[in-house]
Amino acid sequence: MSRPASRAFLKAPRASARRDDAKQAVAKYREFHRYDPQQIGEFPASFCIPERVYQAGAMKFVCYRSGKVDPETLKKPSKPVNYIHDHDAGVTCYLPGPGDAEGPEVDVPREFVDAPALTRLGHCLGFCYEDLDGEEQEGEGRDPLPDLYTTPDGKCLLVIQSRRTVLAMMWGGALGVYARGIDG
């Protein structure tokens, strides 16, 4: 069963605030994909962004599959397209478990933890970072593929499995999500 290419998701569903919580996520969705979301979904009540994570290392790239409008031709593809984004200096990968990364445990910035909604950019096919020993470490998406999300400000990427588990987070440097794609 296939899901829509992208959706805006509420992180902490509250019926009375649903529309307000989703506004920024929907705006980021429109900016990135260049069309309106087909639906707005909700994460399970148990979902949360971790308050502390472990520094894994400098991001090298992230690969994702998206149905966004091609920023160069301004045409919507007939099927989702695979993209690779090479990260600039300053973007760091963080992993949730102490056995997953060798770096120090750090606080996740409050604006990421408290984001009321996230925007789904597409499926995450994999990512690569350089660990603290200078070795490249690759995470490869396997079926069912995890999803690549961003916070409404576009300053943090999250790899989330089945709308339940944060597998990795990336932030720092000039990272941003824009109409032209992921930058930084």
Q: Categorize the per-residue pLDDT at 13 as very low, low, confident or very high, splitting at 50, 70 and 90.
A: very low
Q: Tokens 């576009």: give the residue.
A: 154
CB 115 within 8 A of CB 151: yes
Of all residues in the chain, the percent with pLDDT exceeding 70 is 89
The sign of the torsion formed by the CA atoms of 111, 142, 174, 92 equals positive
Sign of CA dihedral 138, 95, 97, 55: positive
143-152 per-position pLDDT tens digit: 899 999 999 9
For the segment 107-157, what is each residue's pLDDT rounded down to a tens digit? Answer: 999 999 998 889 999 999 999 999 989 999 998 888 899 999 999 999 999
pLDDT tens digits, one per residue of 74-86: 899 999 999 999 9
Cβ contacts of 81 within 8 Å, gap of 6 or more: 65, 66, 67, 68, 70
For residue 101, give every residue at least 6 positions away whose Cβ sits within 8 Å of its Cβ, in sequence order, or none: 53, 54, 55, 56, 57, 93, 94, 95, 131
Mean per-residue pLDDT of the chain: 87
The ranges assigned to domains in the chain are 8-183
Contact 10, 37 (CB under 8 A): no
